[in-house]
Amino acid sequence: MEIPPQLESMLRGERGQAKEMGARLVLDMADTAGAQSLIPAVHAHVSGVSVITGGPGLRRFLSEISNTGDQVSIPTTLNSAGCDRQKIEEMGIEYPSFL
């Protein structure tokens, strides 16, 4: 698969750590899906922020990417999510120091 120059720049970390992380994720997903090519994104949605369905790996990724201090470069939306501290055990969240 041909990687566009802008994505190559992101993979080298030239556009910030968050974009590098996002670019690696996009390429991993494209490879897993057997994509033949990539197209430019004009907007994005960060999905999977549910503490119930996201799992520790996704929560760690979102935490790490949010701590980079980088900003989005295309219009981006995010699901709102919440967690009831009183019911965290009932919800089955097995991630230390989640809240």
Give the model confidence (pLDDT) of 4-39 as tens digits: 999 999 999 999 999 999 899 999 999 999 999 999
Per the model's pLDDT, the better-predicted residue between 99 and 59 turns out to be: 59
Measured over all CA atoms, what is the biggest interatomic distance in the chain, rounded to whole angstroms?
49
What is the C-alpha separation between 78 and 86, in angstroms, rounded?
25
Identify the band that residue 96 occupies on the pLDDT scale cut at 50, 70 and 90: low
Mean pLDDT of 49-70: 77
What residues does 45 pair with on adjacent strands?
77
What local confidence, expressed as pLDDT, does residue 81 receive? 62
Identify the band that residue 75 occupies on the pLDDT scale cut at 50, 70 and 90: very high
- H or E element at residue 33: helix 17-33
Q: How many CA atoms lie within 13 A of 71 on its CB side?
A: 3
Identify the band that residue 61 occupies on the pLDDT scale cut at 50, 70 and 90: confident
What's the mean per-residue pLDDT of the chain?
A: 83
What local confidence, expressed as pLDDT, does residue 11 receive? 96
Q: Are residues 12 and 3 in contact, defined by beta-carbon separation less than 8 angstroms?
A: no
